[in-house]
Amino acid sequence: MFSVCRVLLAAGALAAAAQPPALRVCADPNNMPFSNERGEGFENRIADLVARDLGRRLSYFWLPQRRGFIRNTLNANRCDVVMAVPSAFEAARPTLPYYRSTYVFVSRRDQGPRIRSFDDPRLTTLRIGIQLTGDDYDNPPAAQALAVRHITQNIHGYTVYGDYSASDPQRGVMDAVADGAVDVAVVWGPLAGFFARRARAPLTLTPVEPASDGPSRPFRFDISMGVRRGDDALRERLDRVIADRRAEIRRILKSFGVPMV
């Protein structure tokens, strides 16, 4: 009897010891549609997929994604992977891109103007909503494109920080279009796609053209996962997951309405 117990215990202990280490992910606990604490974002879903594929259990370190995020997460060794960084990112080592999206013009389907490019003369008179990150005067490309054209008098800014004490802190700019506070907004694709489906009025999304407004104002971005610089082993494994599971990943993104180009 005792010997059976001991063997079982030993086996259990061995099994536990042999467990692979968790896949530690750093993510924003309140940033739909990307991620939240309840695992409802598409980056959460993709992280589930990756962990399953690697045969590891998933664990999270939560931190709002602000200035200093990589320094305080990946580089502080609180996690091993961040689910999304621009593929040209230098602060972390990006994997291969797993999707490519674009900033879109957002307007009301019934009455809104259909804008395709920043050269559209209507932009000088329309009320325009843009996202603001404000990080040392840097802002998403819409801000720059308007500034360069001296379109400044009719702009309404919506910080990406929003009201962090509420859920969906980034939906403000989309609600502004639906409610008629602005005529058109320029929003990063995944945000626009997700909140358009939940908007109070039907909205149209139009990818910004051309893909880049001058060399320093691209509107399309490749998105990769990010690991610590030097963590080539994990990066290679993630690259393989991305290649092998391309179709599944696309399906997840499509289900969230992410415009892919």
Partner 1 sequence: MAVRSLLGVTLALYAAGAIRLWRHAGIGRGVRPAEAAAFGGGWLAVAIALGSPLDEWSETWLAAHMVQHELLMVVAAPLIAVSGSLAVFLWALPATARRRLASAIRRRPASAAWAALTAPGVAWLLHALALWTWHLPKLYDYAASHEGVHVLQHASFFGTAACFWWGIARGRYGRVGYGAAVVYIFATAFHSGLLGALLTFSPRVWFLSYAAPHAWGPTPLEDQQLAGLLMWVPAGLLLTAGGLVFLGAWIRESDRRPAMKYLAIALVIIAGASMACSGNHASAAGPAPTGHPPGAPPGMRLVADVSTGEWRLPAGDYGNLRYSTLDAINTANVAHLQVMTTFSTGVPHGHEGQPLVFNRTMYVVTPFPNNLIAVDLTKPGGAIRWIYQPHPDPRSVGIACCDVVNRGATYADGKIIYSLLDANVVAVDAETGREAWRTKVGDIGKGETFTAAPIAVKDKVIVGNSGAEMGVRGYVAALDVRSGKELWRAFNTGPDADVRIGPKFHAFYAKDQGKDLGVSSWPPDQWKLGGSTVWGWISYDPETNLFFYGTGNPGVWNPDLRPGDNKWSCSIIARDADTGEAKWAYQVTPHDSWDYDEIMENLLVDMDYGGRRRKLLVHPGRTGFVYVLDRETGELLSAETFEPVNWASGYDLKTGQPNEDPSKETHFGKVTEGICPSSTGAKDVIPSAFSPRTGLVYIPSHNTCMDYEAIDANYIAGTPYLGADVKMYVGPGGYQGELVAWDVAHNRKAWTVKETNFPVYSGVLATGGDVVFYGTMDGWFKALDARTGTELWKFHVASGIVANPVTYLGPDGKQYVAVYAGIGGWMGAVAFPDISADDPYAALGVVGAMKDIKKYTAPGSTVYVFGL
Output 12 or 214, the one with its CB closest to partner 1: 214
Q: How many residues bind partner 1 (CB under 8 A)?
A: 65
Other residues' Cβ atoms within 10 Å of the Cβ of residue 121: 6
Q: Least Å distance between CB 238 and partner 1?
A: 17
Does residue 179 interact with partner 1 by CB under 8 A? no
Tokens 């009320």 locate to: 127
Window 23-82: residues binding partner 1 (CB under 8 A): 28, 31, 34, 62-72, 75-76
Does residue 217 interact with partner 1 by CB under 8 A? yes
Does residue 225 interact with partner 1 by CB under 8 A? no
Q: Least Å distance between CB 22 and partner 1?
A: 21
Output 15 or 30, the one with its CB closest to partner 1: 30
Contact stretch for partner 1 (CB under 8 A) within 111-119, 149-157, 199-207, 249-257: 149-157
Q: Least Å distance between CB 38 and partner 1?
A: 16
Output 105 or 221, the one with its CB closest to partner 1: 221
Both tokens assigned to 166: 């509420």
Say how far apart CA 182 and CA 258 lie, in whole Å: 23
Both tokens assigned to 163: 């009201």
Q: What is the DSSP string of the chain?
A: -HHHHHHHHHHHHHHHHHSPPPEEEEE-TEETTTEETTS-SHHHHHHHHHHHHHT--EEEEE----TTHHHHTTTTTS-SEEEEEETT-SSSEEEEEEEEEEEEEEEETTT-----BTT-GGGGTS-EEEEE--BTTB--HHHHHHHHTT--TTEEEEETT--TTSS-TTTHHHHHHHHTSSSEEEEEHHHHHHHHHT-SS-EEEEE-BSSBSSTT-B-EEEEEEEE-TT-HHHHHHHHHHHHHTHHHHHHHHHHTT--B-
> In this chain, which of 9, 148, 211, 243 binds partner 1, going by CB under 8 A?
148
Output 85 or 115, the one with its CB closest to partner 1: 85
Contact stretch for partner 1 (CB under 8 A) within 45-53, 151-159, 198-206, 247-255: 151-159
Q: Least Å distance between CB 141 and partner 1?
A: 6
> In this chain, which of 23, 47, 106, 143 binds partner 1, going by CB under 8 A?
143
Does residue 230 interact with partner 1 by CB under 8 A? no
Contacts to partner 1 by CB under 8 A: 28, 31, 34, 62-72, 75-76, 84-91, 131-141, 143-144, 146-148, 152-157, 159-161, 163-166, 169-170, 188, 190-191, 214-218, 221, 223
